[in-house]
Amino acid sequence: MSLNFNKYRSRYISFIFVILLLALMLSRVFRPSAQSTPEISISYSEAAGHAGVFAEVCGDVASVTYIQNIGGKPTFINFGAHHPNQEFTVVIWGENLSRWRTAPSDLYSERFICVRGRINIHDGTPQIVATGSDQISFNPRYR
């Protein structure tokens, strides 16, 4: 029996290596989001007190602005007021805009939306970076 194993050992090792390599590749392609269920659901006005938390933040959109002439070509979705007086912001970087079938300004302007993601603070304003349209929904729960 050990003679057969030794005879085919390099094939077994190659086979196992290929299986492990495929598993690694598939884990990168079909990786579920690190966290899909928010820890809390809050209004945008409460977001500043929850930095670092994976949350669903909801509210009325005050403005949506796409800025093509700065690095990263961001789209800013502001809540509470227009920039620079916004209370909360959703940032969509230009590299991710292709994940939206319709421009965010057409979808979200003057709408009540919820966004899911990790809250961070940038220049004193709480924000969530949205990398896909599945993070943003139309949800009147807090209205």
Q: Is the pLDDT of residue 1 over 70?
A: no
Residues 6+ apart with CB under 8 A from 93: 72, 73, 74, 129, 131
Domain ranges of the chain: 1-31, 40-142
The pLDDT of residue 121 is above 80:
yes
Q: List, for residues 8-64, the tens digit of each pLDDT value.
A: 777 777 787 777 777 766 665 554 445 579 999 999 999 999 999 999 999 999 999
pLDDT value at residue 140: 61
Average pLDDT over residues 139-143: 58
Query: What DSSP line would sit under 82-113, residue for residue?
Result: STTS-SEEEEE-GGGGGG-SS-HHHHHTT-EE
Q: For position 9, what pLDDT does the model report? A: 75
pLDDT at 141 exceeding the cut of 90: no
- The predicted pLDDT at position 46 comes to 98
pLDDT of residue 5: 61
Compute CA distances 63 → 13, 112, 127, whole Å.
58, 12, 14
* Res 10: pLDDT: 75
Range from 65-69, 73-77, 98-102, 139-143 carrying the lowest mean pLDDT: 139-143
Average pLDDT score over residue span 113-134: 97
CA distance 31 to 21: 15
Q: What is the pLDDT of residue 26?
A: 67
Does residue 121 contact residue 51 with C-beta atoms inside 8 Å?
yes
Give the pair of three-digit tokens for residue 87: 């209370």
Question: For position 4, what pLDDT does the model report?
Answer: 66
Q: 40-142, which class in CATH?
A: mainly beta
